[in-house]
Amino acid sequence: MQVINSCSVDFNELFELHYTEMFWVAKGIVRRYDLAEDVVQDAYIKAYKNSQSLIDLKKKRAWLRQIVVRTAIDYYRKEKKQLNVILDDQETIERKQCDHQAFDTYSWKIEKDLIVQVIEHLPKKSKEILTLKWFFDYSDQRISHELNVNVGAVKTRLHRARKQFKAVYDQYN
52-97: pLDDT as tens digits: 888 887 888 889 999 999 998 888 888 776 655 555 555 555 555 5
Give backbone dihedrals phi and psi of 56, rounded to 5 degrees, phi first.
-110, 115
- Under 8 Å CB-to-CB from 4, ≥6 apart: which residues? 51, 52, 54
Domains parsed from the chain with CATH numbers = 2-84 (1.10.1740.10), 99-172 (1.10.10.10)
DSSP string covering 78-143: HHHHHHHHHHHHHHHHHHHS-HHHHHHHHHHHHHHHHHHHHHHTS-HHHHHHHIIIIIS---HHHH
Is pLDDT above 90 for 37?
yes
Note the pLDDT of residue 103. 47
- Under 8 Å CB-to-CB from 5, ≥6 apart: which residues? 52, 55
- pLDDT bin (cut points 50, 70, 90) of residue 6 is very low
Is pLDDT above 70 for 9?
no
